[in-house]
Structure 1
Amino acid sequence: MKRYYNSLAIAVFSAISAPSVADGIDIYGKANVTVQSSDEGEGSFTEVKSNNSRIGFKGEQALSDGLTVVYKAEFGVDLDGDSAKGDSITDRNQYIGLKGNFGEVLIGKNDTLLKQSQGKVDVFSDLNADIKALWKGENRVSDSITYKTKKFSGFQLGMTYVVEDSVDGEDASSIALMYGDKALKKSTFYAALAFDSEMAGYDVTRAVISGKLGGFILGAIAQTQENVSSGQEMDGFLLSGKYNIDNWVLKGQFQTAEFDGGDDKSGITVGADYKFAKNIKAFGFYTTFDMDSGADEDYLGIGLEYNF
């Protein structure tokens, strides 16, 4: 496996060094590492953790008749060195597609539309308080076809379709209607309504809203989900907020998950970022999970993030 990844790295970097290829390639990534005290019910321990660090290659090339080919190859990179099974490099979003007046079609591995619909509401994404800790629906799926319309008066419709991939396989779909700008840079309001059908074994409905209010950025998500096999249902909601003070960003988030049978779960996280530059920040956080039927969990950490 190690030989495979060494060969992969050599092939990738050899390819991007060629002038004829590199002209259309944008290299990007994120390094995020924390030092944290973690207690998952059996006592606390200290760990160094890589939080979805990644490197990617993307680009596009204009064709005739108003068409543009787009592509991306993104890989997760485990910066803490804990991978003992040869999985220090993992696949993330990887696709090729076309865009034009009809919108955009992407084929390959990609986040579902329901996952994309959350926008920036999850202010502790990639850390222990990531919404996937309590909810289903944060899926990145292979063998998928993704279609998004162009925006009309701020609205955009999108769909992910996962093909069966075998005679005995089953297809799945994810659809979302979105309004506004997820990052709230071009608008002060964002909203979405999304649905998963038999995606990774669950049917999910998710409603999202976020906006600017004075110096605050506030967000909320309501979700219902049902396990297709067992029929167990869950209802939950999430509230988040951010406030900027000079180079500081103060953040908080609260999430619930109420399951059939009274198995309730909730999480509270508070934290702060300090921006050294637009793409570099130090940060700290404290997360606590209250689990009815499982062990409570607590995480306290500090970290550094570099985007390029």
Structure 2
Amino acid sequence: MNTKLTVAAVAIAATLFSATTSAQDESELFDFYGKISVGVQFSDLDDGTDNDRELESYASRFGVKGSSNLDGGLEVIYQLEWEVDVADLGGSDNIKSRNQFVGLRGNFGEVTVGRRDTALKLLQSGFDPFSNYEGDMKHIFAGKNRTKNTISYFSPKFDEFQLAASYVFSEDDLVDDGVSMTATYGDKSMKSTVFYAGVGVDDSVNGKDIVRAVVMTKVGSTKLGLLYQDQENVDGTGQADGFVANAVQPWNDFTFKLQYQMMEFSNGDESSLAAGVDYKLGKNTKLFSWYTGRDLDNVDAQQRYVAVGIEHKF
């Protein structure tokens, strides 16, 4: 990928969008957005790199998303998003594709084609308070997939119930197409409801078969979450199961976060404990700090991480 051409194309597109806003029909809605998240990270590993210090970019990104009304009560929706490493990588490695799709929305729900987070991955959206950090459950739990060649469907909500599915076309004749499906109830942002629950399965997605259940609720101002997962390789090997439990407590401009996760494998357990605090500087800006400790019994390793950083959304 030519990074300069990619950045230039997005910049030109964003400029044209902004310049034509006043001339557009009100039915055309779009948003140029992004996030810069970077911190100083200290790592203590069992591989001879004790007390390693470096700047890390935590899934910083930019993109364009929008929608436009069509005839017959339809709406076209689209998103083009890229991840950018603002701390380390350069050249062609600096830009990575994220969600990039186009689709239709109507009374039937929503259908998109392209590259998109699978239904099972979206089931955990808003659940993991350490997403994109070292405490992210993806370091122990399988299933956080953003797949290409994907058709995605989301049903309308029926009294807070919703169904979702992803069909992933395989490019290898020896590998089955993948299917990801979920059923959910409630509002994961805890605005219209104070309870959210969902179940989901992956069948032959990224080499894994997965069953997952998640529950989130609020007790006062405290948000609590619990997730259970059973996973195995598509050939039936590597079976494992485990859980994640977390709590998030806002207090004035601070947000305190705690998460524990554990997965039992046949050759040992993997566990992680993460604790962190965010400090709000403004509507779109915060400082963050966190600690994560991982114990990997199956490879007899311990990993410890501490980070302090800043995040700004636009």
For residues 204-241 of structure 1, the C-alpha deviation after alignment (integer angstroms, 9 at most, x for no partner) is 01100001001210001000001113511111100000
What 5-or-longer segments of structure 1 have no aligned partner?
none
Hey, what's the Cα distance between the residues in 2 that align with 1:167 and 1:205? 25
The answer to which of 67-76 and 16-25 deviates more is 16-25
Paired residue for 1:15? 13
Q: Which residue of 2 aligns with 1:155?
A: 161
In structure 2, how many angstroms separate the alpha carbons of the residues matched to 1:251 and 1:16?
35
Select which of 63, 71, 78 maps to 1:56.
Answer: 63
SS, match of residue 65 in structure 1: helix
**In 2, Cα distance between the equivalents of 1:255 and 1:126?**
15
Counterpart pick for 2:148 among 133, 142, 146:
142
| 2:109 paired with 1:111 | no
2:44 matches 1:39:
yes
Q: CA RMSD in A?
A: 1.5
Q: Could you tell me which amino acid in structure 1 is paired with residue 255 of structure 2?
A: V
2:285 aligned residue: 280
| Residue number in structure 2 paired with 1:79 | 86
**Residue aligned with 2:270, SS:** strand
1:85 Cα deviation after fit = 6.2
Kindly state the Cα deviation for residue 44 of structure 1 after the two structures are TM-superposed: 1.7
> For residue 102 of structure 2, what is the aligned residue in structure 1?
96
Task: Please identify runs of 4+ aligned residues in structure 1 that moved more than 3 A.
Answer: 19-24, 165-169
Equivalent residue, structure 1, for 2:252: 246
- The count of corresponding residues between Structure 1 and Structure 2 is 304
**For the residues of structure 1 that align with 2:165 and 2:51, how far apart are their CA atoms?**
42
**Post-superposition offset of 1:277:** 1.4
CA deviations 1:93-146 (Å, max 9, x no partner) are 000000000000010000000000013221100000100010100000000000
What one-letter code is carried by the residue in structure 2 that aligns with 1:160?
A: S
Tell me the amino acid that sits aligned with residue 107 of structure 2.
N
Matches of 2:270 and 2:106, distance apart in 1 = 44
After superposing the two structures, state which structure 1 stretch, 271-280 or 198-207, moved more.
271-280
2:74 is the alignment partner of 1:67? yes
Q: Work out the CA distance in 1 between the residues paired with 2:235 and 2:212.
A: 20
Contact kept in structure 2, 1:178 and 1:191, CA below 8 Å: yes
Residue type at the aligned position of 2:81: E
**CA–CA separation in structure 2 for the residues paired with 1:189 and 1:86:** 43
Whether the 8 Å contact between 2:14 and 2:32 is mirrored in structure 1 is no
Residues 84, 30 of structure 1: CA spacing in aligned structure 2 closer, same or farther, 3 A cutoff? closer
Distance in 2 of aligned mates of 1:92 and 1:223: 25
Amino acid at match of 2:7: A
Return the letter of the residue paired with 1:38: S
Match of 1:28 in 2: 33
Q: Which of 156, 170, 174 is equivalent to 2:176?
A: 170
Decide whether the 8 Å contact of 1:242 with 1:252 is kept in 2.
yes
Structure 2: distance between partners of 1:192 and 1:169: 28
Identity %: 38
